[in-house]
Structure 1
């Protein structure tokens, strides 16, 4: 065994005892599932929640993620789920550990709908560039989960610094159709299957605008223009519709992995997550979706979404946006910091996303920036509504809002206790629970799970 391989195995061996010493029992991510039938998922989730204890957070300000606020509130979590939330009068069972939340705030776990952690892990070297299959303008056959590296240090940083408990990992935007996304629970695991959010729908990454036409136009092939983008898309959907027709009739003679994915999009089983900047292109995508019978769940980046708020609301499409990114390429020049506030005012489902391994650690602050920009033009959005931008709204666009995204009895016990108002630049997660298990505690060094790759190489720091 070479020195590099030996070090990697030693690092993994070190990481697992660290998790155990932090009070985290080993996740049962090795469970073997029976071979699936054709058209079923061959890579099912083996996620099992880490064990937790019944807890009662009392005296905190509670933002429930659905737009509600309870001052001097109480949150009860047990058996991996939220049991109840209420005011100070809510009875706390004697078996629950009481956590004093006086002066602190509670929210649901933060959800990032647009992340590339694991497929572009840290460190950002060429060997880790696994997010864009730039060999064809359409690659619906690829699945992001097959590139995700569970030991990416970005996962534990997002948990500790941003309170992120759930995230969607997407392929990049070089291709018109980039492949399947995967929704993960942000937990330590040796396998991707051990992180996969149980029964979450797959997403399908699409892109429009500059990226595909630049990448493939530079290779002297179609598409090299925006009209080429739509022509390639439409021709691909024609093939997918025919494939689905044959599949539904039981007349398929051989499998096509890409067409399987697109047929499931047309069947409503896979949700379209569409990278798009300009308002005019988003309107064309809406028309194209209507032409072929699929639905866009969310437009991502959507810097000009404020121009078509009425169309987005009418078609029940969420806008996953940055607070203030603009001007870094031509299609981003009409981005404005008031985008999110104007969309909220128009009744649109607003989401703050990251698309960045640092931004994912500050989604709460990004939302606060967008809230402030709205206030400056006379749109006052209450804190409890802004919290929805990084909790329940992304859960809705991912098709998992019945299970997580808000603090409601029976939902997953994904909870963050903040040391201050999460919309303050000074706020940090103090404790983070995933399915009722305390996976991070800023006050307890044993409750800070990290990737072994945070520890450095031999000769650096404390690594021997």
Structure 2
């Protein structure tokens, strides 16, 4: 083995989680049940969590960041602020009057502090790098509805995109979604952006599952191209509605045979699984919201949503977030009415705005994407504060993912997911200097030992290398 690689493996091993993930096995009843009617074998139920998180925070030290400009994610800006965190939690956020006794003090003068950046729409691990067919695991494009699949069962934890997202973009949490080939693509999973041997070791504890849906061109192109239904937008809605009706019947039938897909849909109907719907056109978003009311679920966020600016009032009234790009435009017909002012117009309307990536590259610069959307609004005469714009990539994302009570803002009692930037985070010239997750220093641009590197960034060993 290459000597360099041996050293790196040793370093990564020292850095990795100590625990090995276990997912449990089938329960055996019967022998100890005392009942002849009890089943001999039984799988874990949904409520028992068959694929539990085994995430455990890395060790950290009590830390005080002092003298920096602090954006708390909730719309506030503090000049010369102080952020205190200990035992994985934020203890206090305020001015220079906060006592730092008992903390390791870091001088942030001239720098900026934000909550950890959150990407609500990522495919890292399911479409990892290197981007080869053998790694293409995001779309189960075998049927128009596949609510039975779970994105976490495709996530490859060694994807170098995870460490690049942290080092370049300050990403501390992200939602991994199935692709958009299907009307119902399956469950998403929310991850903490930490090194782990297993996806369970990255799984955000307490985060609700999401459910990926898609409307518009993708499903009708994929299945219409095979001569199957749906091949039109009306076919999309017909298949969706019938699938929901079948799920309602299942949810109301106490004697129904267990069905993995309908079990997921039942979780959506019960409000325990959050719907994230890929949808571009305003008219379709309005129809989807009506369909949701018809069958009894709620859309949490429309993703991509390039025409959301046309129905900002409807989105606000229905409490639906828009997870959008800053300026992606024209790459297919339903993206032709995209405008750079989308986010600003939604903000002006009082609707929920989230900037997302859908890209292994854009996830490394969500701060810059948010700044581009802010600048487009300013050119239109819509002034949006820097503090509110930071919320587009922190607290608003957390709200739409159902984790805002745990992360997304710098508030006492929340997870100490924190980024120290070497300059204004809304500047193209700024980068993360340090990143903490649950109070543990996971990246430090000034310390090579805290700059994770993947084997795939080192290249293949050559003949002249020491084996």
**Pair 1:353-2:356 in alignment:** yes
Do the aligned residues in 2 keep the contact of 1:29 with 1:47 (CA within 8 Å)? no
Matches within 5 A, 1:288-299: 288-299=291-302
The match for 1:158 is: 165
Q: Call closer, same or farther: CA 1:25–1:457 in 2, change over 3 Å.
A: closer
Correspondent of 1:42 among 50, 64, 68: 50
The alignment's TM-score, normalised by the length of structure 2, stands at 0.93
The match for 1:3 is: none
Q: Measure how far apart 1:251 and its partner are.
A: 1.6
For each residue in 1:397-451, what CA deviation from the matched residue of structure 2 results, as whole angstroms up to 9, or x when unmatched?
0000000000001100100000001000001000000000000000000111233
**Pair 1:326-2:329 in alignment:** yes
Q: Call closer, same or farther: CA 1:434–1:64 in 2, change over 3 Å.
A: same
**Pair 1:225-2:222 in alignment:** no
- The SS at the match of 1:376 is helix
CA distance in 1, matches of 2:380, 2:173: 32
Do the aligned residues in 1 keep the contact of 2:55 with 2:201 (CA within 8 Å)? yes
Correspondent of 1:265 among 265, 268, 287: 268
Do the aligned residues in 2 keep the contact of 1:151 with 1:453 (CA within 8 Å)? no
**Pair 1:180-2:187 in alignment:** yes
Q: Measure how far apart 1:452 and its partner are.
A: 2.8
CA distance in 2, matches of 1:25, 1:220: 48
Q: Measure how far apart 1:25 and its partner are.
A: 6.0
CA distance in 1, matches of 2:369, 2:436: 22
The match for 2:319 is: 316
Do the aligned residues in 1 keep the contact of 2:53 with 2:204 (CA within 8 Å)? yes
CA distance in 1, matches of 2:82, 2:338: 40
Q: Measure how far apart 1:17 and its partner are.
A: 2.5
For each residue in 1:138-193, what CA deviation from the matched residue of structure 2 results, as whole angstroms up to 9, or x when unmatched?
00000000000000000000000000000000000000000000000000000000
**Pair 1:207-2:207 in alignment:** no
Q: Call closer, same or farther: CA 1:132–1:79 in 2, change over 3 Å.
A: same
The match for 2:439 is: 436
Do the aligned residues in 1 keep the contact of 2:23 with 2:52 (CA within 8 Å)? no
Q: Measure how far apart 1:318 and its partner are.
A: 0.3
Do the aligned residues in 2 keep the contact of 1:29 with 1:189 (CA within 8 Å)? no
CA distance in 2, matches of 1:182, 1:374: 32
Do the aligned residues in 1 keep the contact of 2:17 with 2:56 (CA within 8 Å)? no
Correspondent of 1:384 among 384, 387, 392: 387
Q: Measure how far apart 1:453 and its partner are.
A: 2.7
CA distance in 1, matches of 2:358, 2:370: 14
The match for 2:21 is: 30
Correspondent of 2:255 among 251, 256, 260: 251
For each residue in 1:107-129, what CA deviation from the matched residue of structure 2 results, as whole angstroms up to 9, or x when unmatched?
00000000000000001111111
Q: Call closer, same or farther: CA 1:325–1:384 in 2, change over 3 Å.
A: same
Do the aligned residues in 1 keep the contact of 2:214 with 2:279 (CA within 8 Å)? yes
Q: Call closer, same or farther: CA 1:263–1:99 in 2, change over 3 Å.
A: same
CA distance in 2, matches of 1:461, 1:387: 48
The match for 2:34 is: none
The alignment's TM-score, normalised by the length of structure 1, stands at 0.94
**Pair 1:451-2:454 in alignment:** yes
**Pair 1:141-2:132 in alignment:** no
Matches within 5 A, 1:98-113: 98-113=105-120
The match for 2:177 is: 170
Do the aligned residues in 2 keep the contact of 1:29 with 1:193 (CA within 8 Å)? no
The match for 1:69 is: 77
Q: Measure how far apart 1:77 and its partner are.
A: 1.0
Do the aligned residues in 2 keep the contact of 1:27 with 1:50 (CA within 8 Å)? no
- The SS at the match of 1:211 is helix
Q: Call closer, same or farther: CA 1:463–1:300 in 2, change over 3 Å.
A: farther
Report the aligned-residue RMSD: 1.8
The match for 2:62 is: 54
- The SS at the match of 1:99 is strand
Q: Measure how far apart 1:37 and its partner are.
A: 3.5
For each residue in 1:352-405, what CA deviation from the matched residue of structure 2 results, as whole angstroms up to 9, or x when unmatched?
000000000000000000000000011000000000000000000000000000
Number of equivalences: 449
Q: Measure how far apart 1:15 and its partner are.
A: 5.4
- The SS at the match of 2:380 is coil
The match for 1:18 is: 11
Q: Measure how far apart 1:30 and its partner are.
A: 2.8
- The SS at the match of 2:220 is helix
Do the aligned residues in 2 keep the contact of 1:344 with 1:350 (CA within 8 Å)? yes
Q: Measure how far apart 1:29 and its partner are.
A: 4.3
Q: Measure how far apart 1:460 and its partner are.
A: 8.7
**Pair 1:286-2:319 in alignment:** no
Q: Measure how far apart 1:18 and its partner are.
A: 1.9
The match for 1:411 is: 414
CA distance in 2, matches of 1:460, 1:141: 47
For structure 2, the 5+ residue unaligned runs are 28-42
CA distance in 2, matches of 1:394, 1:166: 10
Q: Measure how far apart 1:457 and its partner are.
A: 1.6
CA distance in 1, matches of 2:13, 2:410: 28
- The SS at the match of 1:114 is strand
CA distance in 1, matches of 2:280, 2:466: 45
Q: Call closer, same or farther: CA 1:64–1:461 in 2, change over 3 Å.
A: farther
Q: Measure how far apart 1:346 and its partner are.
A: 0.4
